[in-house]
Amino acid sequence: MRILLALLLALAAPPAFAHKPSDSYLAVRVEGASVSGQWDIALRDLDFAIGLDDNGDGDVTWGEVKAHHTDIAAYALARLKLRSGGTDCSARATEFLVEDHSDGAYSVMRFAAGCPTEITTLEIGYSLFADLDPQHKGLLRLEQRAATRTAIFSPERATQSFELAKISALTQFFDYGREGVWHIWIGFDHILFLLSLLLPAVLAFDGARWRPVARFPPAFWDVFKIVTSFTVAHSITLSIAALGVISLPSRLVESGIAISVVLAALNNVFPVVHERRWLVAFVFGLIHGFGFASVLRDLGLPQGALLVALVGFNLGVEIGQLAIVSAFLPAAYWLRASWFYQRLVFVAGSLAIAAIAAIWLVERAYNLKIISA
């Protein structure tokens, strides 16, 4: 009957497979002489290679994975060779996370490697699981600023070289500038903070309630002061954090940003500070600067062109911010006397912002996912 079983296997063959074959996802970013990367490896594969299910119950838990992080790093990084100019660039793991891919959970290892000189050609040797599963493939995404390349590693193509483009300081400046604009646009926490402070600019508090301002200049100067002090403040902290003078835990910074949004929004409904909102913008701007810095760090800072990147990124943030303000101010001034602006935008809008930011605060402080569930 064994043969009939063979026939059965044969005729049911490839399409009946439930899973996709074993792959890992390797993202590598090159910046000057340094390499940073993220490597997603299936837990099922790691279990086969080094054993993760310590209690043998068939379930791999986060605790078990955590206990093996050192083993995972040692096993995987020994099978990834990064070379530049004939010299090995040794890599070390920096962070461990988890990611759910379409076929199950993966261990995510972030790593960093330094090469002695600026990388012009990166040679990658990939031999993960080559001895255990010759059908395993490594799917590489290689990023260098604007350009992204992909490649597939298999035992037949275990070593591949990648020529890297030379990048001028000007390109780098504009690249980082664009990242800055992009970040303020997708960074809703910064936008909402700024909007919360700007919403009352076309109104004036008379001690009892907010009334529309009579003329445009006061509104303009109010906005000018707020935006300028926010900019000055976050430029200061962005610079000192990016240069590595001070480093704050990201959970603290992200929670602080969420708090700043809640307070700024609530201040509109229950005014505490009305004349000196620029001061609020300055104080909280300091926290937002740390947030920007962490984005910049994730982008990878070019060692040779730190200043260029920093200034470019910061200017990008200001341009993005200016675009928002110049769209906001005329519209708000135009609508300032309407019920729509005073009740809906100003009061309901502020409350909505405060509510969203409160959810962020809980998410960030307790590492939860609520909105993004």
Partner 1 sequence: MLTNMSRSATATRTIRIFIIGTIIDIARALTIISLAAAAQAAPYVPMEDAIVLERLAVRPGDPVARDLRRLRAELARDPRNLEVALRLAERYFELAGAEGDPRYIGYAQAALKPWWDLPDAPIGARVMRAIVKQYSHDFSGALRDLDAATREDPKNALAWSWRAAIHMVQADYAAARADCEALRGIETELGAVACTAYVDGTTGKAAAAHRALEAALARDAAVSSAAKVWVLTRLAEMSLRQGDAKQAEEHFRVALGQGVRDQFLLAAWSDFLLDQGRPAEAGALLRDWVRSDVLLLRLALAETALNVPEAKEHVQALRARFDAAALRGDKLHLQEEARFNLYLLGQKEKALALAQENWKSQREPRDARILLEAALATSDPSAAKEALDWLERSRHEDPRLRRTAEKLRAFKR
96's CB contacts (< 8 A; 6+ apart) are: 65, 66, 69, 72, 107, 108, 109, 110
Q: How far is the CB of 124 from partner 1 (least distance, A)?
A: 17
Q: What is the chain's alpha carbon radius of gyration, rounded to the nearest angstrom?
A: 26
Nearer to partner 1, 315 or 335 (CB): 335
We find the least distance from the C-beta atom of residue 67 to partner 1, in angstroms, to be: 9
Measured distance CA(70)–CA(83) in Å, rounded: 23
DSSP conformational letter for 14: G
**How many CA atoms does the CB half-sphere of 184 hold within 13 Å?**
26
Q: What is the token pair recorded at 193?
A: 């903070």
Closer residue to partner 1 (CB): 60 or 241: 60
Q: Cα(169)–Cα(252) distance, rounded to whole angstroms?
A: 33
In the bound state with partner 1, the residue whose beta carbon lies nearer, of 189 and 233, is: 189
For residue 116, report the phi and psi dihedrals to the nearest 5 degrees: -65, -35
Shortest separation between residue 368's beta carbon and partner 1, angstroms: 7
Q: How far apart are CA 241 and CA 169, in angstroms?
A: 22
Q: For residues 45 and 222, which CB has a smaller minimum distance to partner 1 in the complex?
A: 45
Residue 4 or 245: which CB sits closer to partner 1? 4
Shortest distance in whole angstroms from residue 138 CB to partner 1: 9
- The nearest distance, CB 155 to partner 1, in angstroms, is 10
Whose Cβ is closer to partner 1: residue 58's or residue 207's?
58
- Tell me the closest approach of the beta carbon of residue 350 to partner 1, in angstroms: 14
Indicate the pairing of strand 80-84 with strand 147-153.
unpaired
H/E element, 264: helix 250-269
